[in-house]
Structure 1
Amino acid sequence: MTTRRGYAALILTTVIWGSTFIVTKLLLEQVAPLQLTLLRFVIAFIVLAPLAARQGFHFKDIFKPVFLLFGLTGTTLYFAFQNLGMNYTSVTSTSLILAIVPVLTSIFAVIFLKEKLTRQLIASIGLVTVGMVLVALSSGQEEQGSNPLLGNLLIFASGLAWAVYTIQGRKMSGDYPALVMTAASTGAGVLFLLPFAGWEAAVVGLPHFNAAGVAEIVYLGLAASALTMFLWNYALHYLPASIAITFVNLTPVIGVASGYILGENPPLLKLAGGALAIAGVFFSSRGAKPAAAEETGK
């Protein structure tokens, strides 16, 4: 039952995340990237903190080194790099580049969690590498971004941050309730974001939202941040990192589809590279088994 709940949490998380690319791209027309990241997680923290308090969360938990690092990677770096990158590249490129996160996580799991390095993982790394080369070669054909190369590099950096965050979550899941982990990391992320978003506001000014923008930022803060970050950490209590991260494979598919709504028409080479990378990720997950509940301490 607990394993099924873990899978259900991952499926819902991935579907919501897949919809955020188009919402973020639309919001970037009204608000600068770092301010958007800050607003998103201020809303999320306001919702999460009182709920987490019922499970033992205290505001001082934010300042624990383990949660400061957790918030830095999973909130500040991942989303800041992603929003900055989407300012320069397309929804399609963002979705396809982030498709490699599962393989990055598997590599880190081998290094830090001592998970087994399999032939499947080695082969998948090769497929993903070739796929990303094709995506990079097609970036010159991109018309939806002002600086695709810079944007794509920032998106790749965000993927690295999320892979590290996932490994951290797996190591911590037996020590803290999922809701406490989520609230503390969100609060820590907000602290790191404050000075940078403040600097950005001083340079480019404060945002001016229309009615649609208000609804979009609330959606990102509530569903795509508070709810999904809790579901993600909840799933990690019952599933290994290598299984959990493979569900993110659905996210780039949804993201590419949403790109068409914005009028993006990616070249065939880019789609072929993305498909190859996603195939490599699925290949790496074949034969993996869920973690037993006792392994998580839950």
Structure 2
Amino acid sequence: MKFDKTLLALAATVLLWASAFPAIRVSLEGFGPAQLSLLRLAVASAALAAVAPVLGVRRPARADLWRIAVTGAAGMSAYQLLLNWGEVRVPAGTAGLIVAAVPAMSALLAVRFAGERLTRAKAGGSLIALGGAALIALSGKESGYTGAAWAVLGAALSQALYHLTIKPLLLRHTGLEVAAYATWAGTALLVPLAPSTVRALLDAPAGPTAAAVYLGLLPSAAGFVAWGYAMARLSVTTATAALYLVPVATLVISYVWLGEHPRTTAVAGGLAIVAGLLLLNRRPRETTAGPPAALRPPGTPGPKRRTVAGPRG
């Protein structure tokens, strides 16, 4: 039986990004949140640097370096630190549901800072999705992880800021190039953590170390490569539909890998997030040039490009 390579790449991306959340929980058994952040980004940076010549990744313009530093700080360094700290207490599946609210945050930030028009669908969808995320965070009070859940929400906000700041870069570079630049910049910003990371690496058990390397090689590096391959051959609509499977896949993988049983309130909040995103991304039938920038999946360039970056662990 012959499988479609594009659909396989898309499915691989969804599974890789979904698997990142339980892999973080495993990695945290041997590393602190800060050390894991640097280790994951360093592995991803090395892998992307190795394949960059093959994939045709160009050097960024000198004028873009400051913006790349900002995207690396928000979308890589801050995101990793906050997410890892939050997952010390928050179950992997629950963290995946919270991070799924990133497109709603991105849409509202685009209204405030990028001059996007606030439509009823955008406002309603964003409020529903954010309400679902807040429900998950507040429900953590019973399990003692409310503060950590808000940290995961902070990670989602960092990712939303990343999607806002990369828009000018996507006018001149591919989505894969921007992801590589941001990964390298985020790694450089965490270099001061290198001594403690090396010490932790020398003392960490094999399982957490393997999970950390897995995070850098597969969800981070290979995930973006597979995503770029699929999106060069698919429409934005098809990709958007696939991204809704990430939180669902996260729950399934977390159950199989870690034995996690999601709380009823977390599932209810997750359903609200997905419903809000569906409303947020609803387009008029007559629209053919692609959705407005704030309604596209995170990292999506304009209609002339089809390489996007979706929610990830």
Which TM-score band applies after superposition, normalised by the shorter structure? 0.7 to 0.9
Q: Matched residues in 2 for 1:241 and 1:195: separation?
A: 39
Query: Which residues of 2 match residues 59-208 of structure 1 at below 5 A?
Result: 64-142=65-143, 147-196=144-193, 198=195, 205-206=200-201, 208=203
Q: Which residue of 1 aligns with 2:24?
A: 24
CA-CA distance at 1:46 after TM superposition: 1.2
Task: Kindly report the root-mean-square deviation, in angstroms, between the aligned alpha carbons of the 2 structures.
Answer: 3.6
TM-score where L is the length of structure 2: 0.77
Counterpart AA for 1:74: G
Deviates more, 1:75-84 or 1:164-173: 164-173
Distance 1:47 1:29, change over 3 A: same
CA-CA distance at 1:62 after TM superposition: 11
How many corresponding residue pairs? 289
Counterpart AA for 1:194: V
Counterpart AA for 1:190: T
CA-CA distance at 1:103 after TM superposition: 0.7
Alignment partner of 1:45: what SS? helix
- Say which structure is richer in helix: 1
Q: Which residue of 1 aligns with 2:311?
A: none
Q: Matched residues in 2 for 1:272 and 1:258: separation?
A: 19
Match of 1:280 among 260, 270, 276: 276
Counterpart AA for 2:34: L
Contact 1:44–1:225 under 8 Å retained in 2: yes
TM-score where L is the length of structure 1: 0.80
Contact 2:130–2:273 under 8 Å retained in 1: yes
CA-CA distance at 1:59 after TM superposition: 9.4
Residues 1:252 and 2:253 are matched in the alignment: no
Contact 1:135–1:273 under 8 Å retained in 2: yes
TM-superposition CA deviations, 1:276-297 (whole Å, max 9, x none): 1221112211227636976349
CA-CA distance at 1:18 after TM superposition: 0.5
Q: Which runs of 5+ in 1 are unaligned?
A: none
TM-superposition CA deviations, 1:202-231 (whole Å, max 9, x none): 8xx555344433432222111111122345
Alignment partner of 1:176: what SS? coil
Deviates more, 1:231-240 or 1:14-23: 231-240
Counterpart AA for 2:220: S
Contact 1:174–1:237 under 8 Å retained in 2: no
Q: Matched residues in 2 for 1:162 and 1:245: separation?
A: 17
TM-superposition CA deviations, 1:187-206 (whole Å, max 9, x none): 1111111224546778xx55
Distance 1:248 1:107, change over 3 A: farther
